[in-house]
Amino acid sequence: MSDKTPQKKVIIEIADYIFANPDKNREAVLSYFVTRCRKNRRTVERYVKQAKEHNKTRIQLQEKAKDEILVAVAKESFKTKVASREQVLEKLTKLMEEAKKEDNQIRAITVMAGMQGWNAPIKSEVNVNQQQSISLMLLEKQMDAFEVLVKPKPEHANISELLYGGGAGGGKSMLGCFWLLWQAVHCHGTRWVMGRNTLKTLKETTLNSFFEAARICGNLKYDYVENKGIRFPNGSEILLKDLAYYPSDPEFSELGSLEITGAFVDECDQITEKAWNVLKSRIRYKLDDHGLTPKILRTCNPSRNWVFTRFYEPFIEGKLPENRMFIQSLLRDNSKISKHYEKNLDELDEMQRKRLKDGDWYYIDMSDKWAYAFKKDKHVGKTELNPSETVYLSFDFNRNPITCLVSQHYDNHFYGIEQIEIDNCTIYRLCEVIKERYPGCFFLVTGDVSGKNVSTVSSLNNFDVIKMSLDLTRNQMQYSGQNPPLAQNRILVNAMLERYPMVFDADKCGPLIRDFEIVKSDNDGKPVKLNRNDPAQRADSLDCFRYTLNRYFGNFLKYLAE
């Protein structure tokens, strides 16, 4: 910049720079313009002071213009008592065209009209500070998802569960926040949920995205109540919900008492499937009043848990139920992402880079899997019960869930018939299920040695109940005296998977197949079980399989050595 540049032009340029870069401190602004203007520091300090006064006036004028537009729109809204929608829409459109094309003004008209049910014209680009234009149009993938949620095509009319994302940087959180804003403003008196695994994380991440979305929409009027939610002038509200599993509330009773219109769950792979199902069951509030159908949006990065088995795997196999939909959005789909963010992802280790940048759902490092010898194409297939052969039952006695592996071993083959997994179930009920599904079979029973422990309320232990309920002899009860060391057990399990013919039923052994794929090993060769809220750290079904091999194939390693 020449040192002969007119003073007023310099001041306006400084004002524009400060307006566009509010995060720049005073020293950074001074240093930048001392160099750029070729002026001494004292002169630039005077210019900066005048530039800030110029910005104050600019903001005041913008706020005044916005207020004038809102008043005008309100007056037009009042006329709906005597005017047709078409007439009001025509006037709103004309008003918008006459207004200065500023973000707040256009958005104010759009939102006010939308609250009355009119389709006011939506501009994809607006002039923000009379210097530069930014696109407010959603990303292409976001728009695809938004249409499914708000105005679905006939082929998407039955979609009630939408999974969006599958990678970092795809605009997951902003999509959910824009959707909740749109619905809350357009559907008066409705109640929505914004949820995440913990309220603390929700407030630190997703809620900040909501505040940004509201700012983009023209600083919409709302009241934020700490730890509770967001209330709008039209009576709508967005509740903030902690969706973590707590032993004190295994049934998610707090969610069970809700009545909501819809929900957005950010990073849904961090919550349990039960939390998701309970939340989904509460969607019924004022749906008919606004012609809505139940909708729940979830976002996540690739994970090998219930999200994988409920959405991604059926999606890949073309078996996704008609009420579910998956829209993949990755970093490469976001034209607005910072190049620095992409560079940060490139610097991750290979496994996390595949997962977060490339959206690879099969990202698990094989060396980190506890059952590293398991191969889906080798070990998963179709099995059928052979009534003439012994049925082996292996139990794990957690209450949530209680599990039992049903298997058969004959002709030098191992057949996984079924992995029974039931939440909040007693051993009595589990035995009833086994009798109903396998009548007339000859059983041999093994399982977790803790099943021998007697409770304080009964003289019977779990194995006693099994023996009595299934009418078994003492010889049919073949549990071991102690559980073997986990690290040593890992060698046996993987040797069997690698060297012994084994097949597990694709439909009935889902929980065991899941554990084979997602349970990880620590440095000592033990399954990682630090957080029971994480399905990948439960390994209940895998434990049933281990107990079976310990009892009936304990000498397999010696056989291989010979």
What are the angstrom distances between the C-alpha of 43 and each of 35, 50, 459?
12, 11, 91
Average pLDDT, the chain: 80
Q: Which residues contact 49 (CB under 8 A, 6 or more apart)?
A: none
**Facing residues of 135 across strands?**
125
By mean pLDDT, which of 94-103, 107-116, 176-185, 291-300 is the weakest? Answer: 107-116
Residue whose structure tokens are 């019924």: 284
Q: Is residue 368 part of a domain?
A: no
Would you report the helix, strand and coil content of the chain in percent, each value rounded to 5? 50, 15, 35
Q: Is pLDDT of 233 > 80?
A: yes
What is the rounded CA–CA span in Å between residue 274 and residue 255? 11
Q: Is residue 177 part of a domain?
A: yes
Buried b (16+ CB within 10 A) or exposed e, 341-365: eeeebeeeeeebbbbbbbbbbebbe
CB 296 within 8 A of CB 262: yes
Q: At which of 325, 356, 387 does a domain end?
A: 356
Q: Which amino acid is at 347?
A: E
CB 487 within 8 A of CB 545: no
pLDDT digits (tens, 9 = 90+) for 235-255: 999 999 999 877 678 888 888
Q: What number is the average pLDDT over the span 439-466? A: 83
What is the percent of the chain where pLDDT is above 90?
A: 34
Q: Which amino acid is at 267?
A: E
One domain for residues 214 and 342: yes
pLDDT attached to residue 227: 78
What are the angstrom distances between the C-alpha of 457 and each of 225, 431, 448, 454, 460?
46, 20, 20, 8, 9
**Is residue 226 classed as helix, strand or coil in its secondary structure?**
coil
One domain for residues 319 and 448: no
- Report the 3 state secondary structure along 515-539: HHHHCEECCCCCECCCCCCCHHHCC
pLDDT attached to residue 505: 96
By mean pLDDT, which of 4-13, 368-377, 549-558 is the weakest? Answer: 4-13
What is the rounded CA–CA span in Å between residue 475 and residue 442? 12
One domain for residues 390 and 319: no
pLDDT attached to residue 125: 31
One domain for residues 405 and 511: yes
Q: Is pLDDT of 453 > 80?
A: no
One domain for residues 106 and 158: no
Judge residue 338's burial from the number of C-beta atoms within 10 Å of its C-beta, 0-12 exposed, 13-18 middle, 19 or more buried: exposed
Domain hosting 99: range is 7-122
Q: Which residues contact 399 (CB under 8 A, 6 or more apart)?
A: 424, 425, 426
**Facing residues of 505 across strands?**
381
Q: Is residue 363 part of a domain?
A: no
Rounded to 5 degrees, what are φ and ψ at 544?
-60, -45
pLDDT attached to residue 473: 96
pLDDT digits (tens, 9 = 90+) for 334-366: 766 777 777 777 777 676 777 788 888 876 555
CB 463 within 8 A of CB 447: yes
Q: At which of 55, 88, 122 does a domain end?
A: 122
Q: At which of 356, 385, 400 does a domain end?
A: 356
User: Which of 235, 239, 161, 255 lies closest to 206 in space, CA to CA?
Assistant: 239
Q: What CATH number is associated with residue 253?
A: 3.40.50.300
What are the angstrom distances between the C-alpha of 267 and each of 71, 206, 394?
40, 10, 34
One domain for residues 115 and 150: no
- Neighbouring CB atoms inside 10 A of 533's CB total 15
Q: Is residue 129 part of a domain?
A: no
What is the rounded CA–CA span in Å between residue 50 and residue 28? 17
Q: Is residue 313 part of a domain?
A: yes
- How many structural domains comprise the chain? 3
Judge residue 41's burial from the number of C-beta atoms within 10 Å of its C-beta, 0-12 exposed, 13-18 middle, 19 or more buried: exposed
Q: Is pLDDT of 67 > 50?
A: yes
Helix (H) or strand (E) segment spanning residue 229: strand 229-231
Paired tokens of 322: 């008609």
pLDDT attached to residue 113: 47
What is the rounded CA–CA span in Å between residue 206 and residue 62? 29
Q: Is pLDDT of 215 > 90?
A: no
Rounded to 5 degrees, what are φ and ψ at 484?
-75, 160
What are the angstrom distances between the C-alpha of 126 and each of 56, 107, 118, 136, 540?
21, 9, 21, 8, 55
Q: Is residue 365 part of a domain?
A: no
What are the angstrom distances between the C-alpha of 81 and each of 88, 95, 378, 443, 524?
10, 19, 70, 76, 75
Residue whose structure tokens are 């989904």: 280
Q: Is residue 364 part of a domain?
A: no
What confidence tier does 415 reach under pLDDT thresholds 50, 70, 90?
A: very high
Q: Is residue 362 part of a domain?
A: no
pLDDT attached to residue 294: 94
What is the rounded CA–CA span in Å between residue 545 and residue 541? 7
One domain for residues 95 and 145: no
What are the angstrom distances between the C-alpha of 104 and each of 63, 68, 101, 112, 232?
9, 11, 9, 12, 18
CA 274-277-283 angle, 5° bins? 145
One domain for residues 440 and 314: no
One domain for residues 521 and 442: yes
What is the rounded CA–CA span in Å between residue 102 and residue 118? 21
pLDDT digits (tens, 9 = 90+) for 80-138: 444 454 555 555 555 555 554 444 444 444 544 444 444 433 333 333 332 222 234 46
pLDDT attached to residue 100: 44
One domain for residues 61 and 199: no
- Neighbouring CB atoms inside 10 A of 539's CB total 24
pLDDT attached to residue 121: 38
DSSP state of 270: G
Q: What CATH number is associated with residue 520?
A: 3.30.420.280
Q: Is pLDDT of 166 > 50?
A: yes
One domain for residues 339 and 382: no
Q: Who wins on pLDDT, 118 or 186?
A: 186
One domain for residues 96 and 193: no
Paired tokens of 278: 């309970």
Rounded to 5 degrees, what are φ and ψ at 480?
-85, 165
Q: What number is the average pLDDT over the span 14-25? A: 76
Residue whose structure tokens are 């560079």: 343
| Residue 148 Cα to chain centre, angstroms | 17
